[in-house]
């Protein structure tokens, strides 16, 4: 059952219900809420049961300083930064891979770029692409306040236009931008990905809609269709090995074989 968020919020009882479920927490980054009753429980992310997500988040140590401030800012301004469990996964992955060059599509306020910078060696450089000028300005300000300012390079523009201009190889590429364009990004990045390199794609399960038609809302149909096509493609592509991990909003990893 899908209910537009605005409609939902007109109903005072629904507000109380949602507040109750989320214990006063802000519902962030969404203008539609899908209410789905399962065993008497209402869920928002549709990727995991709430109790699993809540438990995982409860044991992850809180960030301090600027990372915490960026989390608060993102929540307040509805900027869809990576969830804390995805940030943790990113940190561990990067410790294992130890990349020297990282490419990110979708900078927003620079949160994930800073997570990546803080999890890599001092000689690892990060190139990150963002289409929105206001975001680029904000991200640059946020990054300039940190010790990572020399390692993160923001490029403003449409990824589909910037990607063909990039040269050299990247050991790790992170997609976190327009979900309907992942296949296009992937094809533009294939030549930029080093052998044994990894592409990590965020939000691939898209609030569960990708996995179940029951959850798909009409105006997200195209995105869902494209994400399904993308996942099918990367999971069956010769020379690559992919997996889908149901944390956050769904994460896919694609490894390029030698």
- Give the residues lining the site for ligand SAH (CB under 6 A): 80-82, 106, 108, 111-112, 129-132, 135, 158-160, 176-178, 181
Q: What is the DSSP-derived secondary structure letter of residue 167?
A: -
Stretch that binds Mg ion, among 69-77, 94-102, 178-186, 194-202 (CB under 5 A): 194-202
When binding is defined by CB under 5 A, the residue of 202, 208, 224, 256 that contacts Mg ion is 202
Which of Mg ion, ligand SAH, none interacts with 234 (beta carbon under 5 to 8 A by kind)?
Answer: none
Is 155 in contact with 166 (CB distance < 8 Å)? no
Size of site (CB under 5 A) for Mg ion: 3
Determine the residue with CB nearest ligand SAH. 106
User: Could you give the maximum distance between any two Cα atoms of the chain, in Å?
Assistant: 58
Q: What is the DSSP-derived secondary structure letter of residue 103?
A: E
Q: Cβ closer to ligand SAH: 9 or 245?
A: 245
When binding is defined by CB under 5 A, the residue of 88, 140, 203, 254 that contacts Mg ion is 203
Q: Cβ closer to ligand SAH: 132 or 225?
A: 132
Which of Mg ion, ligand SAH, none interacts with 116 (beta carbon under 5 to 8 A by kind)?
Answer: none
Is 182 in contact with 160 (CB distance < 8 Å)? no
Q: Cβ closer to Mg ion: 171 or 176?
A: 176
Which of Mg ion, ligand SAH, none interacts with 203 (beta carbon under 5 to 8 A by kind)?
Answer: Mg ion
The residue among 166, 170, 162 whose CA lies nearest residue 193 is: 170
Which of ligand SAH, Mg ion, none interacts with 135 (beta carbon under 5 to 8 A by kind)?
Answer: ligand SAH
Strand, helix or coil at 84? helix
Which of Mg ion, ligand SAH, none interacts with 33 (beta carbon under 5 to 8 A by kind)?
Answer: none
Edge-to-edge strand list for the sheet holding 251-256: 152-156, 125-130, 101-105, 170-175, 193-202, 251-256, 240-245
How far is Cα of residue 23 from the mean position of the Cα atoms in its chain? 24
Whole-number minimum distance, CB 203 to Mg ion, in Å? 4
Which of ligand SAH, Mg ion, none interacts with 171 (beta carbon under 5 to 8 A by kind)?
Answer: none
Whole-number minimum distance, CB 72 to Mg ion, in Å? 18
Cβ atoms within 10 Å, residue 82: 24
The backbone torsions φ and ψ at residue 213, rounded to the nearest 5 degrees and listed phi first, read -60, -30
Q: Does 104 bind Mg ion (CB under 5 A)?
A: no
Q: Cβ closer to ligand SAH: 19 or 222?
A: 222
Distance CA(231)–CA(245), nearest Å, equals 12
Contacts of 12 (CB under 8 A, 6+ apart): none
Is 203 in contact with 223 (CB distance < 8 Å)? no
Whole-number minimum distance, CB 94 to ligand SAH, in Å? 14
Stretch that binds Mg ion, among 21-29, 128-136, 151-159, 195-203 (CB under 5 A): 195-203
Question: Residue 128 region, left (φ>0) first, then alpha (ψ -120 to 50), else beta?
Answer: beta
Q: Where do contacts with Mg ion occur on this chain (CB under 5 A)?
A: 176, 202-203
């Amino acid at each position: 059952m899908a209910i537009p968020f605005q409609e939902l919020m007109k109903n005072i009882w629904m507000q109380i219900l949602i507040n109750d479920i989320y214990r006063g927490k802000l519902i962030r980054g969404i203008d539609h809420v899908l209410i789905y009753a399962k065993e008497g429980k209402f869920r928002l992310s549709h990727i995991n049961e709430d109790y699993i997500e809540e438990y995982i988040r409860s044991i992850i140590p809180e960030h301090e300083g600027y990372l915490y401030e960026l989390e608060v800012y993102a929540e307040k301004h509805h900027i869809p930064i990576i969830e804390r469990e995805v940030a943790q996964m990113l940190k561990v992955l990067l410790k294992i891979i130890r990349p020297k060059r990282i490419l990110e599509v979708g900078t927003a306020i620079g949160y994930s770029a800073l997570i990546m910078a803080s999890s890599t060696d001092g000689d690892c450089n990060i190139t990150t692409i963002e289409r929105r000028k206001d975001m680029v300005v904000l991200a640059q300000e946020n990054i300039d306040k940190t010790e990572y300012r020399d390692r993160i390079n923001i490029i403003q523009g449409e990824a589909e236009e910037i990607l063909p201009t990039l040269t050299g190889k990247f050991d790790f590429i992170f997609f976190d931008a327009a979900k309907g364009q992942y296949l296009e990004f992937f094809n533009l990045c294939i030549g930029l990905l080093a052998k044994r390199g990894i592409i990590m794609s965020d939000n691939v399960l898209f609030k569960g809609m990708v996995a179940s038609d029951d959850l798909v809302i009409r105006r997200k149909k195209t995105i869902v269709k494209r994400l399904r096509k993308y996942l099918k493609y990367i999971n069956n592509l010769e020379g690559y090995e992919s997996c889908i991990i149901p944390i956050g909003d769904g994460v896919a990893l694609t490894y390029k074989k030698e």
